[in-house]
Amino acid sequence: ALTLDKAEMGGSPIRVARSIPKKDHRWIKAPPNKEKRRNEMEMAKAAPPPEATTVVHVSNINFKTTDEAFEQHFQQIGEVTQSFICRDPSTGRSKGFGFLEFAKPEDAMGAMMLNGSTLDGRELTVSRSTRAIAPPKPHPERPFDQSQRGGRGGGFR
C-alpha cells in the first residue's frame, strides 16, 4: 500500500502514510500538562472556602412570576437589597432564573434553605452565586438600511 503514495487517481494525487498504533501515539505517551492539571485540581480542593457571598441564584422560576412576587417570597428570610429575574431582551419573557442580593451573608445562607420551596406552582432551586448582580445590557435596535441587504440571494434564476 505504501507504494501507492503519490500515485494519481482520477487526476488527484493519493497520499498514503503509515499508521501509528494507539499505544505509541504521542498523546498516549506524553499527555499535555496532565501533571499540571492534577496539581491545579488538588490545590482547588485544598483552597480555603471563598468569602461569604450575599448573592444567590434561583432557577426553575415560573415564567409568569413577577419581580415583586419573586422578591416577596424571599423577604421572609431577610432584607433583599436587589432582585432580578433574567428576561429575553427582545420578547421580555422570563428565562426561568434570577438572582437575589441580600444585605447580610447570613440571610443569603438562609435563603438557600428555601431550596425546594414552591413559588407559583414551581419548585425553586436555590444555590450560592459566585457573581455580583449586574444590570442588563441594553438591546440595541438596528434601523433597517436597504443598502445593507446581505444574504445569499435566492429566488428563481
- Better pLDDT: 60 or 140: 60
pLDDT at 28 over 60: no
The pLDDT of residue 45? 64
Candidates 25, 3, 31; CA nearest to 16 is 3
The pLDDT of residue 74? 92
What is the distance between the alpha carbons of residues 16 and 89, in angstroms, rounded to a whole number?
54
Arithmetic mean of pLDDT, 10-37: 70
The pLDDT of residue 15? 79
Arithmetic mean of pLDDT, 126-140: 73
Arithmetic mean of pLDDT, 59-75: 93
What is the distance between the alpha carbons of residues 15 and 38, in angstroms, rounded to a whole number?
39
Arithmetic mean of pLDDT, 52-71: 90
Residues 103, 105, 109, CA angle at the centre, nearest 5°? Answer: 120
Q: Percent of the chain beyond pLDDT 70? A: 68
Domains of the chain, by residue range, sit at 65-128
pLDDT class for 2, splitting at 50, 70, 90?
A: low
What is the reported pTM?
0.54
**What integer best gives the mean pLDDT of the chain?**
78
What is the distance between the alpha carbons of residues 146 and 118, in angstroms, rounded to a whole number?
50
| Helix or strand holding residue 128 (H, E) | strand 125-128
Arithmetic mean of pLDDT, 78-98: 91
The pLDDT of residue 54? 86
CATH number for 65-128: choose from 1.10.357.10, 3.40.50.300, 3.40.50.2000, 3.30.70.330.
3.30.70.330
pLDDT at 99 over 80: yes
pLDDT class for 61, splitting at 50, 70, 90?
A: very high
